[in-house]
Chain A
Amino acid sequence: MPKLLLLILVLIAHEFTSAQPPPGYTSVSDIAAFRKKMSETTGKIGSVKADFTQEKNLEAIEETVISKGAFRFQRPGKIRMEYSSPYKYLLVINGEKITIRDERKTSSFSARGNRLFTIINNIILDCMQGTALDNRDFKSTVYRNETHYLIVMVPVKKELKDYFGNIRIHLDMKNMDVTRIDMNEPSGDQTKILFTNRELNAHVPENDFVVK
């Protein structure tokens, strides 16, 4: 009996703590209104030009790996992430086709053939296209502070839980564009992608999504 009581208390505590907004944020209760706003506002964003900084925190050994580069997005479903430091690396998503260029070679493959890429790409695309709440692979909760919305996405499927503890998407409240994505892993490590110098609906040449 005491064990059962303890279990119930633990479950209640877990439910209580997991529902707690992150520090500095409050819960958004009207999800329908938020969804409508996101859909309407991001619907007006046809392209994005930005710089990005990817910060990989290796928790256990207290090391941070910082990568930087240029980001391009164009509707529908086109992304270019060109890493310029600490090494050159190019990732281009054009619909179902993913192309990667590293120091050795350029390789193209179908997004369907690589589950991890598909997951990450869908998350970035969902963020850019305002469809993050529609992703059924995750259970999402929305919070807000004075300037930003925060969508906390917790994986539902076991396969996704192998890769992510949760994913946090920070949206600028004004334009609903993504300012930061945090991917928290089961290992305790974390990857933050920060988007700066964002230009919405800037001209992005079609050639940016073609790798020769």
Chain B
Amino acid sequence: MLMCRKTILWLSSVLLMATSCSREPYRELASANERRLCIDSLQPKFITIRYRTLANVKGYDLNGILVLKNTTEGHTRAVFAGDAGITFFDLELHPDGFRVHYMMKKLDYKAVARLLASDIGIILMHRADKNNMKVKSDNGTLILISGSGREYTSYQTDKSCTSITRAEKWGRRTLKTEAQLFGRHHTMPDSVSLRHTTFDFTIQMKQMTP
């Protein structure tokens, strides 16, 4: 009997853990599928965009220009050049993930590349599958949720659903990254303020005139 009770307790814990792993953000909000059509207008469409970028990692500044360029295959290249002119990284975001074309030796770690691709991907709505996005409403603003299981990305729009004002990356029950997006030029945010919640890493971006 005691054994049985222990098994049930163990099973319950496993079930609880399993459900907690797949906990979806904003699940308490009402669905607003009828407004799904506006997702199309939110997705970035540009050829080249440059951002003045100020990053701070644990007190160290990393400033320069981030150039985003869409390729003919529909992929996006993201190249970051520091103020002194040195190229720090060159990533390509494609529908299946990302590819590192160049990474400065000091930064050349898988985890760093993954993090950078994830941060840039949030702004680009990378891998945000519009057909499988959940659409929820919160006082008129829409919350779009993509992903499943281990990771979710949520996008909050303004009330008219013409631009994204906030983006979040969620891990297992915890918010990992939050970004505030301001304005909209060339289908991309005019400026971005991104912050990691689990460690000291912030990025400020401002769109530059071509």
Q: Measuring CB to CB, which residues of chain A are less than 8 angstroms from any residue of chain B? A: 54, 56, 58, 60-61, 63, 65, 83, 86-87, 89, 91, 100, 102-104, 107, 116-117, 120, 162-163, 183, 185-187, 189, 191, 193
A163 CB → nearest B CB, Å: 6
Judge whether B208 and A63 touch: CB under 8 Å: no
Judge whether B61 and A56 touch: CB under 8 Å: no
Judge whether A58 and B86 touch: CB under 8 Å: no
Contacts of A89 in B (CB 8 A): 63, 83
Q: Please indicate which of the listed interface residues B63, B85, B104 has the most CB atoms of chain A within 10 Å of its own CB.
A: B85
When each residue 102-115 of chain B gets 1 if its CB lies under 8 Å from chain A and 0 otherwise, what string results? 10111000000000
Considering only CB atoms, which chain A residue lies closest to B81 in the complex? A56
Checking B52, B85, B106 against A56 with a beta-carbon cut-off of 8 angstroms, the contacting residue is B85
Judge whether A191 and B86 touch: CB under 8 Å: yes
A126 CB → nearest B CB, Å: 16
Considering only CB atoms, which chain B residue lies closest to A121 in the complex? B84
Give Cα distance in the complex from A183 to B84, angstroms: 10
Judge whether A61 and B79 touch: CB under 8 Å: yes
Give Cα distance in the complex from A104 to B79, angstroms: 22
Number of A-B contacts (CB under 8 A): 72
Give Cα distance in the complex from A83 to B186, angstroms: 26
SS of A interface (majority): mixed
Checking A56, A107, A117, A187 against B90 with a beta-carbon cut-off of 8 angstroms, the contacting residue is A187
Contacts of B172 in A (CB 8 A): none
Judge whether B101 and A60 touch: CB under 8 Å: yes
When each residue 90-123 of chain B gets 1 if its CB lies under 8 Å from chain A and 0 otherwise, what string results? 1000000000011011100000000000000000
Contacts of A185 in B (CB 8 A): 86-87
The answer to the question of B179 belonging to the interface, with a C-beta cut-off of 8 Å to chain A, is: no
Given known A-B contacts A104-B204, A116-B84, A65 and B65 have beta carbons under 8 A apart: yes
| 30 pairs from A and B in contact (CB 8 Å cutoff) | A56-B65, A56-B81, A58-B67, A60-B90, A61-B67, A61-B69, A61-B90, A63-B48, A63-B67, A63-B69, A65-B65, A86-B209, A87-B52, A89-B63, A89-B83, A91-B83, A102-B61, A103-B52, A103-B54, A104-B54, A104-B204, A107-B61, A117-B84, A162-B104, A162-B105, A163-B104, A183-B86, A186-B102, A187-B87, A189-B87
